[in-house]
Chain A
């Protein structure tokens, strides 16, 4: 009798926990396609008219509802960016095929993920994946953006031009880049993080870059370390080939332009440092045409043109977050982030100057690239960042060499900056 009652009690407890668990699980859905059901049907219907069509000044007003104000402004005033006319192409929406690791990690951790009073993700570093697949606040959306590790590591060659669209002068740049996530990993072992022995300093992400152009920057290398400790600022070293010195840089140079481009250090990959520096406000959804499956060979421009032609845009229903830096003197008064509902990558963002005028727009053009274990990972293979106020643009293509690879950890030591540099 006594044994039976114990069994009954344990049974009831297990069943109730399972029910409770399934209740939580029922709140979490992942992957989260941009369109489903009726909405998808409507999109497909719209695509019957527009997919494969070239958007130019003649027909742009017919798709104006699906273009961001910045893209519309550029395409209707192409001379701002040194072109007589600009064009893009509409391609059908295609749902991303996300990695097994990202899906499993998200389903495992998202049900219990929480943000503390400081705005920090509880357990940051050990809870990989998209943290809040059904977000309610701007901060949760920002954490989702932070959760995408782009295959945990990648290597690419970036070739770009800094374009003064008024004088048509261009300066070229070429960089070999390696990036590695040390925590919150979901694709490439070790998951979710490197061991304490391998990572005694608590590195969250490391980035190494070697310049191959312009001529006066050849062999200049850069190493940037972001730490798991959100109160610890990034460390940045630059080896300048001309001076043959490894120079430590101050972190408060993060609003400095990178090599004279329109991009500041914080702009890299959309947002490059800790989320804690900003406040985030969800302001709604936006169904816009962006490049998620870009064939970078189709991007074209003439000398002096600071905005790509040939962008292959598909409709995506974005999450839009207004971002304001906590520093009242920050270079941007606000930014609007347009986050992808499937991968939570940033498809583009716009930045406003301190007078509140639309200043810059940063569009990242993605592709699905083979990654670890025969899967694919969305990663950007080209971009442009344009300055509306000064008719300036920085256009680049990224030749993605590998995603989800094992990069030797010694690549991210300061000594690596000098190795093979001349």
Chain B
């Protein structure tokens, strides 16, 4: 606690100091005859909740949802260069501290202590402070990268289809607010490229992740982006932490697979660039095809420890019994049952075949991008059908596990629109970069017994997105609006204004608006009351 306070004070003083004297230092630092490049940033990111429900207010003293101080350091060392052989070392390190639990005692009491420590800094795993760290070796047409890495395979924005290599950390914000390279969780891997001279400028890429695994980090119970501890029970006896969500999260964490070769993931991709002539116009198409074999970052129940899917099951050595007992003890204000050593969950493998493309389409003056993945044997939990158990998916008892194939498709159209008047005023380019997107998902096979599918047992879902951004005052001001609409009537919008006045200082203010007709419809719709104003102040060097 004392150390955290000191860190916060140091970060604050550094940011404040550079805010006062923004032009005194140069961007990035080169050392050892330009062999070592250092760059980094200091950021303070704050979110203020504007739509706290009465139910949630009892777990808060303030409306602050996030107050995260973050420092990043990027290091590139050119160790060896001769002819067409090159050896570099790259490292991207980050450290953060989330302060709201320190400032708001009620908030602090709402988060389980085991989770709070992991939440407030880079302590979920021992190596969380290392975002990336790898050796990068080039020789002729070969490139090998060995170490902790983040892989980007996606073409479209906001929604991921083929980009499955690294899981996400969604505990603090939503994608689009934090940069992707800080939201993705690095994995230790071997990655290689071969740049061929074959027609289409083919590049072969392969990845081997020898057992490193990260679960997707969904919002933690009691935190601003998470649920309140539930079920709540009688008011005076109401326990602060250890709700159902926490119990599940804790058991997920305990089920993390071992770092062994048996748990290896594999991926392979071919990237090409081909020219087509259609209707008199040339189309230069960037395309990829890919294959992935890896563990799903969300587990399914272990049949061995599942237990009877009945409200009468209170056997804490089984998953259903444990969750029933946990709910019961909360309602009656009894001590929380201990989590048994035996794991309730199992992370399972699945396969995915993917493809993507992007090209400029002269006819409409827009860049179109698309990607598709066919996921084979995606592990799912089963539950009673809707007519037997009408509860939302996340509240249903698990009856077993199964596998389903799933198709994910995404298309975007990037069309710059020029407003002539604006191009002559305020140092604006007058160009509005507009991106319209559509994303669809289909789950194949019978979905009536799949516990969590899209909405209430829908076989498919569609999302539409719209992003519009422009720049004013020679890129000093960057207004952006972004919307996502799901056809089941939930979604979110972001209004943001970024201000970059000089070499180093970066400011961003924005408003996050979530809405949902039915918050239980999906985990994204659950964020329905998370509306926030956010402010980000940063120093980059």
Tell me the total A-B contact number using a CB cutoff of 8 A.
151
Given the complex, which residues of A lie within 8 Å of B90, measured CB to CB?
Answer: 422
Contacts of B201 in A (CB 8 A): 413-415
- Inter-chain CA distance A255–B419, complex, in Å, is 11
Q: B86, A171: Cβ atoms under 8 Å?
A: no
Stretch binding the partner chain, chosen from A53-61, A132-140, A243-251: A243-251
> Is the Cβ of A249 less than 8 Å from the Cβ of B367?
yes
Q: Which of B401-443 contact A (CB under 8 A)?
A: 414-416, 418, 420, 423-424, 427, 429-431, 433
Question: Could you mark each residue 261-304 of chain B with 1 if its beta carbon is under 8 Å from any beta carbon of chain A, else 0?
Answer: 00000000001010100000010101000000000000000000
Contact A256 B427 (CB under 8 A): no
Q: Mark B348-365, 1 if CB is under 8 A from A, else 0.
A: 000000000011101001
Residues of B within 8 A of A354 (CB): 420, 424
Considering only residues 335-387 of chain B, those with a C-beta below 8 Å from chain A are 358-360, 362, 365-367, 369
Instruction: Please determine whether B27 and A214 come into contact, CB atoms closer than 8 angstroms.
Output: yes
Complex partner residue of A218 from B39, B420, B433, CB under 8 angstroms: B39
CA–CA, A331 and B430, complex, Å: 9
**Would A414 and B286 count as touching, CB distance under 8 A?**
yes
B76:A422 contact, CB within 8 angstroms = yes
* Cβ B430 vs Cβ A169 within 8 A: no
Which chain B residue shows the least CB distance to A245? B152
Residues of A within 8 A of B474 (CB): 162, 164, 257, 260-262, 392
Q: Give the number of residues in A that approach B within 8 Å (Cβ atoms).
A: 56
Q: In the complex the two chains form, is B27's CB within 8 Å of A250's CB?
A: no
Query: Given contacts A169-B501, A257-B474, A260-B476, is CB(A392)–CB(B41) below 8 Å?
Result: no
Q: Is A171 a contact of B500 with CB atoms below 8 Å?
A: yes
B475 touches A201 (CB 8 A): no
Complex-state Cα separation, A196 to B534, whole angstroms:
55
Cβ-defined contact, B23 with A170, below 8 A = yes
User: Which residues does chain B contribute within 8 Å of A233, judged by CB atoms?
Assistant: 360, 362
Q: Taking the complex as formed, is A25 at the interface, i.e. its CB lies under 8 A from any CB of chain B?
A: no
Residue of B nearest to A243 (CB): B180
The reply to whether A252 and B286 contact each other, CB–CB distance below 8 Å, is: no
A199 in contact (CB, < 8 A)? no
**How many Å from the CB of B149 to the closest CB on chain A?**
10
Is B212 part of the binding interface, using a Cβ–Cβ cutoff of 8 Å?
Answer: no
CA distance A214 to B476 in the complex (A): 13
Residues of A within 8 Å of B503, CB to CB, are: 170-172, 214-215
- The answer to whether A215 touches B39, judged by C-beta atoms less than 8 angstroms apart, is yes
Residue of B nearest to A202 (CB): B282
Binary contact readout A314-349 vs B (1 if CB under 8 angstroms, 0 otherwise): 000000000000000101000000000000000000
Q: Which A234-288 residues sit within 8 Å CB-CB of chain B?
A: 235, 237, 242-253, 255-257, 259-262, 264
CB distance A250 to B420 under 8 Å? Answer: no
In the complex, how many angstroms separate the beta carbon of B274 from the nearest chain A beta carbon?
10
Contact B273 A413 (CB under 8 A): yes
Which residue of chain A is the closest to B78 with respect to CB atoms?
Answer: A420
Chain B 135-184 residues near chain A, CB threshold 8 A: 136, 138, 143, 150, 152, 154-155, 179-181
Asked whether, in the complex, the Cβ of A414 is within 8 Å of the Cβ of B416, the reply is no
- Contact partner of A232 (CB less than 8 A), chosen from B271, B273, B282, is B282
Contact between B23 and A244, CB atoms less than 8 A apart:
no
Task: Indicate the member of B415, B427, B471 with the most A CB atoms within 10 Å.
Answer: B427
* A216: Cβ under 8 A from any B Cβ: yes
Kindly report which residue of chain B lies nearest to residue A355, judged by CB atoms: B424
Is B57 in contact with chain A by the CB < 8 A criterion?
no
Tell me, yes or no, whether B104 is within 8 Å of chain A by CB. no
The answer to whether A243 touches B475 (Cβ under 8 A) is no
Give the nearest-CB partner of A394 in chain B. Answer: B474
Give the size of the chain B interface in residues (CB under 8 angstroms).
Answer: 64
Whether A248 pairs with B367 at a CB distance below 8 angstroms is: yes
Say whether B429 contacts A415, CB under 8 Å.
no
Known: A213-B28, A253-B431, A256-B429. A167 touches B365 (CB 8 A): no
Residues of chain B with a CB closer than 8 A to A303's CB: 23
Whether A164 contacts B473 by the Cβ 8 Å rule is yes
Contact A250 B143 (CB under 8 A): no
| Cα separation A419 to B195 with both chains bound (whole Å) | 10
Among residues of B, the one whose C-beta sits closest to the C-beta of A333 is B424
Tell me which residues across on chain A come within 8 A of B39, comparing CB atoms.
Answer: 215, 218
In-complex Cβ contact of B27 among A215, A331, A420 (8 A): A215
Is the beta-carbon distance between A215 and B504 smaller than 8 angstroms? yes
Per-position contact with B for A395-419: 1 when CB-CB < 8 Å, else 0?
A: 0000000000000001001110001
Chain A residue, CB-CB nearest to B195: A415
CB closest chain-A residue, reference B538: A216
Q: Give the docked Cα–Cα distance between A264 and B431 (Å).
A: 11
Q: Find residues 169-228 in chain A having any chain B CB closer than 8 Å to their own CB.
A: 169-172, 201, 212-216, 218, 227
Give the residues in chain A near B253, CB-CB below 8 Å: none
Of the candidates A169, A260, A415, A420, the one whose C-beta lies within 8 Å of that of B86 is A420
Q: Is the CB of B475 within 8 A of A162?
A: yes
Is residue B51 contacting chain A, with contact meaning CB distance below 8 A?
no
Which residue from chain A places its CB closest to the CB of B502 in the assembled complex? A169
Please give me the residue from chain B that is nearest to A234 by CB atom.
B360
Specify which chain B residues have a CB less than 8 angstroms from the CB of A329 in the assembled complex: 418, 420
8 Å CB contact of A244 from B136, B181, B362, B541: B181
CB distance from B435 to the nearest CB of A (A): 11
Write out the residue numbers on chain B whose beta carbons fall within 8 Å of the beta carbon of A214. Answer: 27, 503, 540
Contacts A242-B179, A331-B423, A392-B427; A248 near B416 (Cβ below 8 A)? no
A167 to B476 alpha-carbon distance, docked (Å) = 12
Q: Does A387 contact B (CB under 8 A)?
A: yes
CB of B339 to closest CB in A, whole Å: 38
Q: Which residues of A79-128 have CB atoms within 8 Å of chain B's CB atoms?
A: none
- A42 touches B (CB below 8 Å): no
Q: B226 to nearest A CB, angstroms? A: 27
Residues of A within 8 A of B416 (CB): 250, 252-253, 256
Smallest CB separation, A170 vs chain B (Å): 6
B203 within 8 A of A: yes
Minimum CB–CB distance from A105 to chain B (whole Å) comes to 29
Give the 7 A-B CB pairs with smallest separation, nearest first: A260-B475, A244-B152, A215-B540, A260-B474, A215-B27, A257-B429, A256-B431
28 contacts across the A-B interface (CB closer than 8 A)? A162-B474, A171-B476, A212-B28, A213-B28, A214-B503, A215-B27, A215-B504, A215-B541, A218-B28, A227-B282, A243-B152, A244-B152, A245-B152, A247-B367, A249-B367, A250-B414, A251-B362, A251-B365, A255-B423, A255-B431, A257-B429, A355-B424, A390-B427, A414-B201, A414-B273, A414-B286, A420-B88, A420-B138
